Structure 1
């Protein structure tokens, strides 16, 4: 069997669809974290995938946050499935059970630990050599310990403690256990790109918990354990209990590999320089790790998220259950046909319209407006006919009069705002109207001549050629007189807008690479929130990497 874990950073972001992504991973059990989908946003194309059974856990407090999902092939159908770690979200007969001692937790705290949709548990039957055994797969997305929010650090530790209690209870019931997902903690210094920059690296509470949850892999620890077993009978008993602890399967097969990271910052382009951390794991109990695991590795070449998948091959074979557990998404009422969907109420229904109600409602877009948007001419055969009994419209041809707008169409067309306005007192407009009465009006603005006191009678002739030439001379002389003042006004306006609408500042050149820097904005709450600065444009990387970002930094002066 093959099992895969991957933090996908949003299940709806796959360009080719979730089915294509699942097929590319080619695994029997695929565990996804940070699906960022709530139940009301889950659609059928994501929930029901041919050839798979899916099991989701949703965040109940925030939309587009957290969430995990486990997809099992039909050949790996589980015998039981459950959402969460506490058992409070289980109200069906297909639960996994084995919750352990939760007396250290208040009911309200247990509810809050499961409300963020961070765990899905599936239980399977497997054949190991010639015997049938039980395998429980715990898909988790551990909280992030925000250093600026002490309450989230406590929340993470309580979640991890509850996870340990649940997995140890499952082991105590005789089941093999695999814990996999985004643990949000790099275990050792070898799992971090730059551990020297972190103060008290070994004192981190998340790392201390991992040390208590995982079996030590170093030779020194193994030798120390053998010496103590020879000397102390009590330690031998403790060592037997430690057999219930878990093994980091990647380090089990690759104990000294460096640069094996599974998460990189997308904001700084750190994946290009492999400046990341290993926070995605596959853990297995010691008995399963030593007898059934064949290989485990990471897939940094797979893109689509800020994390990469981690996979493992096991020699045991999965035995599918004849019946899928009730938690499966195909049994949800909205996907099983037992609940009406909102889309059914939005289907367009064809109905016979009464003959006396064919006229459009007031304020709706009439056929005249639709025709005008296609070809802005009134009176053409493609336009709608006037209503019977409507008053005859008068006015300049090619333009709609005020009466037409007020009586037939209270709301005018947007195109009307882009038409040249007619002025009956302007002979040029009248002449242009007569000249173009048989053609569509063009969007040309006619300059209005400057007013004069003694206007010759020849200019007043509507159809007179000499009148148009005279008006043109008058208009031209006016333009020449105002040319100098117009240029000065344009320069003044240009200078004004340059002072008001300043563009982005010119980027400086970083000293190490002599390349233009990039402009960034502080988004962190504090005194510098919203302030801009320049940094090197190259991706983030280790200080020893010459191809990575240099330490250039410069604030943007607010006055520039």
Structure 2
């Protein structure tokens, strides 16, 4: 505790480093969460797709030494969605809350400013916040001229529009509009706002490895929303204009958008800058991906305080890579964590009994820790094991011997019933093998005495004709290399069918190192369609 208090008393840093990463499972980190967080070298780390619900969250992932954490969980599906924000103790937030609508938080420690949500019903708002897709933290920052301002970080994992589920397309657009209402409401209240996370939409053709024609590409509803939400990095964003003034006769995107894509602000024309690749097709090897992870800031903040914003494709461990930004400001840490902090959950704050307390006898007069309880439990378990081992060496107890003798006597009585009883005797299976061989059952005497007929081994050619095995895989036409066998998993008439395709990773058609277009269905037996 001393070093944590010391961090708070030290002068604040002159820069603020933030990282966002779709981690694709917080419990699957190879170096442990502590090592992963430290390797990112950031003050605030926002994770998406944690795939952990509250019942699955364990203490090593919830309470990381040197950080204070804030989780949002899916309330409907286990191991689905979820976001988490980890702040170093030196940049402890003033306030924090879960969700965009305000329905999941109390006024104690909340950020507030929810905007106009009249277009949503209460059921829609609850559904939008029920999948654990947003965590907000608010920080106090000190600018170089000595002015203090507030900065709110909105960590989001936006929904994916499943083409086979039309209702998810509508859900995604509703989430976007609620996100915009909340972000602009906080901005109108006088604070700065950063939206970071997996937005699940590639904005421009330059952000996609293989875009459609421009007309079709720009007509995507998600891209149309993102275009009106963002301003032109080189234009004049109306960053301080309220929504009613931005709906006037001007129709240019530069006049409407109040937020900037920080990466494109610093790297407006950088090609092949992607953050997500298909793991199933190995597309990361050929950089055949999309840029759907962003750090979006209000225009004034990006232009005045951002020093840089870039991607981290060298970091592996997920089908996404992290994105990061450096801000030129000092962070003034709060004296204590907001009530929403994970360490205040009953299961981690010592207010909820642990399982070991029900398994061992603990002295009520002393405060027994989990480690002590575990020690008592293991010692008692070892003591019982030693007692059982000692008893077996001494021939067990005389009472146990009597029980065994009684059991054998019962078995002997049952054996006198003979084969007509329809049930064999247990003692028959306890006799030595030699005894059973010299006293065979009358019905099997002839069988045991007569030798079994000798079968001739079929020739090798016969077995080759019967056990031919599958045909070798074909060679792809583009590279002349052995193909790989795959199975159709998508629902439809071809579900479960197998096919051969080029074994190389997916890539652009112009890349000679990428997968060629070879495709061949596995031939079925006669009478079955191929």
Report the TM-score range of the alignment, normalised by the length of the smaller protein: 0.7 to 0.9
Report Cα offsets for 1:460-485 as digits up to 9, x if no partner. Answer: xxxxxxxxxxxxxxxxxx58xx44x3
In the other structure, the counterpart of 2:478 is: 512
Structure 1 residue 388 displacement after superposition: 4.0
**3-state DSSP class of the match of 2:506?**
coil
The answer on 1:424 being equivalent to 2:435 is yes
Distance 1:390 1:172, change over 3 A: closer
Distance 1:318 1:515, change over 3 A: same
In the other structure, the counterpart of 1:265 is: 278
Distance 1:546 1:241, change over 3 A: closer
Report Cα offsets for 1:203-239 as digits up to 9, x if no partner. Answer: 1011001101101246xxx4999xxxxxxx9979999
Structure 1 residue 367 displacement after superposition: 7.0
Structure 1 residue 103 displacement after superposition: 0.7
**3-state DSSP class of the match of 1:281?**
strand
**3-state DSSP class of the match of 1:334?**
coil
Report Cα offsets for 1:96-117 as digits up to 9, x if no partner. Answer: 0000011111000000000000
In the other structure, the counterpart of 2:449 is: 451
The answer on 1:168 being equivalent to 2:184 is yes
Structure 1 residue 489 displacement after superposition: 10
In the other structure, the counterpart of 2:88 is: 73
Structure 1 residue 128 displacement after superposition: 1.1
Unpaired segments ≥5 residues, structure 1: 226-232, 361-365, 372-380, 396-400, 407-415, 430-447, 453-477
One of 255, 266, 280 as aligned partner of 1:253: 266
Distance 1:551 1:422, change over 3 A: same
One of 304, 313, 323 as aligned partner of 1:310: 323
Distance 1:238 1:490, change over 3 A: closer
Report Cα offsets for 1:442-461 as digits up to 9, x if no partner. Answer: xxxxxx99736xxxxxxxxx
The answer on 1:526 being equivalent to 2:492 is yes
Q: Is contact 2:236–2:255 with CA below 8 Å preserved after alignment?
A: no
Equivalents in 2 of 1:277, 1:15: separation in Å?
25
The answer on 1:294 being equivalent to 2:301 is no
In the other structure, the counterpart of 2:151 is: 135
In the other structure, the counterpart of 2:200 is: 184
In the other structure, the counterpart of 2:348 is: 335
Equivalents in 2 of 1:95, 1:488: separation in Å?
81
Equivalents in 1 of 2:405, 2:117: separation in Å?
86
Structure 1 residue 514 displacement after superposition: 1.1
Q: Is contact 1:243–1:285 with CA below 8 Å preserved after alignment?
A: no
Distance 1:424 1:388, change over 3 A: closer
Equivalents in 2 of 1:529, 1:383: separation in Å?
62
In the other structure, the counterpart of 2:209 is: 193
Report Cα offsets for 1:118-168 as digits up to 9, x if no partner. Answer: 000000000111211100000000000111211100000000000001010
Structure 1 residue 423 displacement after superposition: 4.4
Equivalents in 2 of 1:390, 1:107: separation in Å?
69
Distance 1:282 1:515, change over 3 A: same
TM-score normalised by L of structure 2: 0.79
One of 139, 146, 150 as aligned partner of 2:166: 150
| Structure of greater Rg | 1
Equivalents in 2 of 1:128, 1:345: separation in Å?
53
Structure 1 residue 389 displacement after superposition: 4.2
One of 104, 110, 128 as aligned partner of 1:113: 128
Structure 1 residue 16 displacement after superposition: 1.7
Q: How does 1:384-395 map to 2 (within 5 A)?
A: 387-389=400-402
Q: Is contact 2:227–2:253 with CA below 8 Å preserved after alignment?
A: no
**3-state DSSP class of the match of 2:97?**
strand
Distance 1:82 1:505, change over 3 A: farther
Distance 1:340 1:256, change over 3 A: same
Matched length = 467
Equivalents in 1 of 2:395, 2:489: separation in Å?
55
**3-state DSSP class of the match of 1:196?**
coil
Structure 1 residue 53 displacement after superposition: 0.4
Equivalents in 1 of 2:299, 2:316: separation in Å?
32
Equivalents in 2 of 1:33, 1:223: separation in Å?
32
Equivalents in 2 of 1:518, 1:311: separation in Å?
37
In the other structure, the counterpart of 1:19 is: 34
Equivalents in 2 of 1:419, 1:541: separation in Å?
67
Distance 1:511 1:345, change over 3 A: same
**3-state DSSP class of the match of 1:271?**
helix
In the other structure, the counterpart of 1:104 is: 119
Structure 1 residue 199 displacement after superposition: 8.2
Report Cα offsets for 1:10-40 as digits up to 9, x if no partner. Answer: 0000122111000000111100000000011
One of 51, 68, 71 as aligned partner of 1:56: 71
TM-score normalised by L of structure 1: 0.75
Structure 1 residue 341 displacement after superposition: 2.7
Distance 1:352 1:14, change over 3 A: closer
Equivalents in 2 of 1:223, 1:89: separation in Å?
36
One of 301, 322, 325 as aligned partner of 2:335: 322
In the other structure, the counterpart of 2:11 is: none
